Amino acid sequence: MEQWLAKSTSVQAKKDVTMSKGKGRGVAKEPQQKRLRAERDAETSAGVTEAIPAIGELSLETARNSRMHSGGLFRTLLLPVVQGLELPVRITAEATGTDPGLEHCKVWAALILSLVNLSVPAELQSAQLVLKTLASAEQEWQNKVHFCRVCKTYDQKKLKVQFSVDSQLDPAAAAVARILVAQGGELMFGPPPRSARERKVAGIMANLARR
């Protein structure tokens, strides 16, 4: 037993020394691991710092291109909030985006019907007749409306009517524009002004550039 005890004690002592050495090696590795983590964190931080202005520049470029495209593709009119256009405004607001083609057609149909029912001067009755003819021939315009929205501007003071239709509907589009202009509307040309979000991003980018 004495020999066993002595032998066991000797073996245990060796284990303790080995474990102590192992712990020492683990402690020695800890500063190295911290340094590696710090280096990775620094690289990540540098990447994020570079990515932020790049993303901002890309978003501004995308917004500019979008405005240029919409200016070329859409007919846009701004007019005072007038009685008689509540239906297309409501249908535009209720659109969910689940079926854009159908939703744009519904807004177009509501716009046409609303303009047909407006009281217009005699010189615009020919334009109104074009829309009445279109309203009575559904197959003539379905699938030819690419885009149509009627909504209030951000300050709620004006209505924005925006649409894009197939060339076969150009007479109807011209009639819509004539009637809306007679209601105080203004036909807009060129790209629209920057949105509030685009201006905000541009301001942030300018502040970053000054740092």
Average pLDDT, the chain: 80
Give pTM, 2 decimals.
0.66
Tell me, what's the pLDDT at 67? 76
Average pLDDT over residues 94-122: 91
Residues 31-71 pLDDT 10s: 777 766 666 666 666 666 777 778 888 888 888 887 777 76
Q: How far is CA 17 from CA 14, 22, 43, 66, in A?
A: 5, 9, 40, 71
- In three-state secondary structure terms, 52 is helix
Average pLDDT over residues 99-110: 91
Tell me, what's the pLDDT at 85? 93
Of 37 and 82, which is predicted with more confidence?
82
Of 154, 102, 111, whose CA–CA distance to 131 is shortest? Answer: 111
Whether 8 has a pLDDT exceeding 80, the answer reads: no
Q: Please give the Cα distance from 98 to 103 (Å, whole number).
A: 9
Whether 114 has a pLDDT exceeding 90, the answer reads: yes
